[in-house]
Amino acid sequence: MPNTQSDIVKYAGPESKAVSMVYTTKRELALTFNGMADKGTMERLLDQLDTYGIKATFFLPGMRVAEEPDIAKEILARGHEIENNTLNRLDMSKMSYEQVNKEIDLSNDVIRKKTGVSPNYVRTVSGGYTDDVRLAAAQLDMQAVVGDSLFLYNWQNETELEKRNYIRKYINRGGIIALDTQENRTIEESVKLIAEGAKNVGYQLIRLDKLMQDGGERKPLEQIPGYDAAKINMNDANATYNVMYKKEGDLKKEVVLSFDDWGTDYTITKILDLLAAYKVKASFFLRADGVEKNPNLARAIIEGGHDVGNHTYSHPVITSITPEQLQQEIVKAHRIITEAIQQQPTMIFRPPTGVVSVSTLKVVGATGYRNIANFDVDPTDFNKSRTSAQIVQTIKDETGNGSVVLLHLLDDIQTIQALPSIINTLRGEGYTFVRMSELMGLNIGQ
Question: Is the domain of 303 the same as that of 399?
Answer: yes
| Sequence-separated contacts (24+) of 397-402 with Cβ below 8 Å | 399/255, 399/426, 399/429, 399/431, 400/246, 400/376, 401/247, 401/250, 401/251, 401/252, 401/253, 401/254, 402/246, 402/247, 402/248, 402/249, 402/250, 402/252, 402/254, 402/255, 402/439
The H or E element that residue 299 is part of is: helix 295-303
In a domain, 380, yes or no: yes
Find how far residue 408's CA is from the centre of its chain.
18
Asked whether residue 446 is domain-assigned, the answer is no
The per-residue DSSP string of 220-241 comes to PGGGSTTTTSS------TT---
Structural domain contains residue 20: yes
Q: What is the pLDDT of residue 445?
A: 43
What would the mean pLDDT of 401-430 be, rounded to a whole number?
98
Least confident of 78-82, 91-95, 171-175, 229-233: 91-95
Strand partners, 132: none
Alpha carbon 187 to its chain's center: 24
Confidence of residue 366 (pLDDT cuts 50, 70, 90): very high
Question: What is the Cα–Cα distance from 133 to 95, expressed in whole angstroms?
Answer: 10
Of the residues 197, 214, 231, the one at which a domain ends = 214
Comparing 58 with 8, the larger pLDDT belongs to 58
Residue 444 pLDDT more than 80? no
Please give the pLDDT value at position 3. 56
pLDDT digits (tens, 9 = 90+) for 60-87: 999 999 999 999 999 999 999 999 999 9
**With 90 as the cut, is the pLDDT of residue 398 above it?**
yes
Q: Is the pLDDT of residue 446 over 50?
A: no
Residues 161 and 12 in one domain: yes
Please indicate, yes or no, whether residues 268 and 137 belong to a single structural domain of this protein: no
Kindly state whether residues 33 and 171 are assigned to the same domain. yes
Residue 406, classed as helix, strand or coil, is strand
198 with 242, same domain: the answer is no
For 71, the domain range is: 5-214
| CA gap 11, 155 in Å, rounded | 41
240 and 301 share a domain?
yes
| Mean pLDDT, all residues of the chain | 96
285 belongs to a structural domain:
yes
Does residue 210 belong to any structural domain of this protein?
Answer: yes
Same domain, yes or no: 173 and 242: no
Residue 4 has pLDDT above 60, yes or no: no
Confidence of residue 8 (pLDDT cuts 50, 70, 90): confident
Q: For residue 383, how many other CB atoms are within 10 A of its CB? A: 12
Question: Is 80 exceeded by the pLDDT of residue 243?
Answer: yes
Number of domains into which the chain is organized: 2
β-pair partners for 30? 176, 206
Find the CATH number of the domain harbouring 314. 3.20.20.370
Q: Answer yes or no: do 89 and 179 share one domain.
A: yes
Q: Is 258 helix (H, G, I), strand (E, B) or coil?
A: strand
Residues 82 and 136 in one domain: yes
- 445 found inside a domain: no
Residues 90 and 138 in one domain: yes
- Residue 13 DSSP code: S
Strand runs labelled E in 271-331: 283-286, 307-310
pLDDT level of residue 6 (50, 70, 90 thresholds): low
pLDDT digits (tens, 9 = 90+) for 266-309: 999 999 999 999 999 999 999 999 999 999 999 999 999 999 99
Q: Are residues 198 and 282 in the same domain?
A: no
Question: In whole angstroms, what is the distance from residue 176 CA to residue 205 CA?
Answer: 10
Name the phi and psi angles at 336, rounded to 5: -65, -45
Question: What per-residue confidence (pLDDT) applies to 1?
Answer: 47
Q: Give the residue from 214, 244, 261 where a domain finishes.
A: 214
Of 285, 402, 445, the C-alpha closest to 349 is 285
Q: Is residue 342 part of a domain?
A: yes
Angle, helices 131-139 vs 97-115, to 10°: value is: 50
Residue 401 has φ and ψ, to the nearest 5°, of -55, 130
Q: How far apart are CA 17 and CA 20, in angstroms?
A: 10
pLDDT tens digit sequence for 107-160: 999 999 999 999 999 999 999 999 999 999 999 999 999 999 999 999 999 999
pLDDT higher than threshold 80 for residue 404: yes
Instruction: Please report the pLDDT score of residue 2 as a whole number.
Output: 53
Task: State if pTM tops 0.95.
Answer: no
444 domain-assigned: no
Kindly give the pairing relationship between strand 176-180 and strand 254-261.
Answer: unpaired
Q: Among residues of the chain, what percentage have pLDDT more than 90?
A: 97
Determine the Cα–Cα distance for residues 104 and 386; give it in Å rounded to an integer. Answer: 55
**Final residue before a domain boundary, out of 165, 190, 214:** 214
> What confidence score (pLDDT) does residue 7 get?
75
CA nearest to 255, candidates 429, 434, 427? 434
Q: Are 311 and 205 in a shared domain?
A: no
